[in-house]
Amino acid sequence: MQPFIYNGLASRVIFGFGTLGQLPAEIDRLGLKRVIVLATPQQQREAQKTAAGLDGRAAGVFAEAAMHTPVEITERALEQVTESRADGVVAIGGGSTTGLAKAIALRSDLPQIVVPTTYAGSEMTPILGETKEGLKTTIRSEKVLPETVIYDVDLTLTLPAGLTATSGLNAIAHAVEALYAQDRNPIISMMAEEGIASLARALPRLMENPRDSDARSDALYGAWLCGTCLGAVGMALHHKLCHTLGGSFDLPHAETHTVVLPHAAAYNAKAAPDAMKRIARALSARSAPLGLYRLAKLLRAPTALRDIGMPADGIGKAVDIALQNPYWNPAPIERGAIHGLIERAWHGDLPQ
């Protein structure tokens, strides 16, 4: 056994069907009296329904959460928090809504209860990415880690097939990089392998029937495990590239992860053979990069950056930005090899 350090993060997790019904009890458990309920404009109805069911514990609804947590929206939400004298936040939605809850918590220290409805995994991490005037910054602080997470499988039944596939592959990406993280440890690696296997089993079934509740349960369980991996150990090339590409070309988050993942895995394959063995085993595939590529194809998810909005003349710029700030990665970061990776991902070629 290699020596390791394991830092457990303190959050309470409730998992099951219909668990949103436990929200009033969880609000009381944290000693809160008036919570503000957050959502995106698309999920405003769910937020209003939830607030109405809180028997006087709701201070209002703020349904303006948006991708990449723009600071202007956080400031508007904070005004409503102050005016309504809210003493806690409840987020119902995907990574965008969780991001808003975290941004409010960072500035106000209010406790958060997060009810995730995608597989992004942000609810399990002490990480917050925010954008101000088009610039994205990421911070890591235990202040933004939600106190309580309620996973309610029923709320994921409405997740459209396309987002189910890409959000699921976004979750798998956290586990893939956790398996070759510099600070990896046996517990997180176990969770990573189980998370990949659980999602890889569930996602194809959900393409056949998005309302298959057993498969939804397996997928959400996998997403929880993968989110825990993201919060616990450092990420490498894949997450850095997706951050660069998403920020520079305004590409959609989950789709970018979906396209880049097989290529990032191929880049690191030789340098991280044990991780590749475990990823392949979890996917029931012979090769990890090819297994990831085939899973994306099977799920009819995008496999080319050109199909999700990246211009051909952006490849050079992406390579430059990817090389700007050095970071740890199992394989050395080399200009020619990174150029090849981004080019293959742009065309949607097989990973190599």
Per CB under 6 A, residues contacting ligand NAD are: 40, 42-43, 67-68, 93-97, 99, 117-118, 120-122, 125, 127-129, 155-156, 158-159, 163, 167, 230, 253-254
Cα separation, 66 vs 87, whole angstroms: 22
Longest CA pairwise span in the chain (Å): 60
Cα separation, 333 vs 346, whole angstroms: 19
Cα separation, 27 vs 50, whole angstroms: 13
> Residue of minimal CB distance from ligand NAD?
95
CB of 72 to ligand NAD, least distance (A): 15
Q: 309 or 340: whose CB is closer to ligand NAD?
A: 309
CB of 127 to ligand NAD, least distance (A): 4
CB of 52 to ligand NAD, least distance (A): 19
Which token pair is 335?
């200009």
CB of 252 to ligand NAD, least distance (A): 8
Cα separation, 335 vs 239, whole angstroms: 17
Q: 117 or 244: whose CB is closer to ligand NAD?
A: 117
CB of 102 to ligand NAD, least distance (A): 7
Closest CA to 240 of 130, 319, 351, 128: 319
Cα separation, 194 vs 96, whole angstroms: 26
Closest CA to 295 of 157, 160, 172: 172
Q: 40 or 329: whose CB is closer to ligand NAD?
A: 40
Q: 280 or 305: whose CB is closer to ligand NAD?
A: 305
DSSP 16-58: ESSGGGGHHHHHHHTT-S-EEEE--GGGHHHHHHHHHTTTT-E
CB of 277 to ligand NAD, least distance (A): 26
Question: What's phi and psi for 108, nearest 5 deg?
Answer: -125, -10
For the purposes of burial, counting CB atoms within 10 Å of the CB of 246, is it exposed (0-12), middle (13-18) or buried (19 or more)?
buried
Q: 166 or 287: whose CB is closer to ligand NAD?
A: 166
CB of 65 to ligand NAD, least distance (A): 7
CB of 184 to ligand NAD, least distance (A): 18
* Residues 16, 155 contacting (CB under 8 angstroms): no
Q: 233 or 269: whose CB is closer to ligand NAD?
A: 233
Closest CA to 226 of 146, 113, 122: 122
Q: 118 or 189: whose CB is closer to ligand NAD?
A: 118
Q: 99 or 330: whose CB is closer to ligand NAD?
A: 99
CB of 75 to ligand NAD, least distance (A): 17
Helix and strand numbers, DSSP H then E, in the chain: 13, 8
Q: 47 or 265: whose CB is closer to ligand NAD?
A: 47
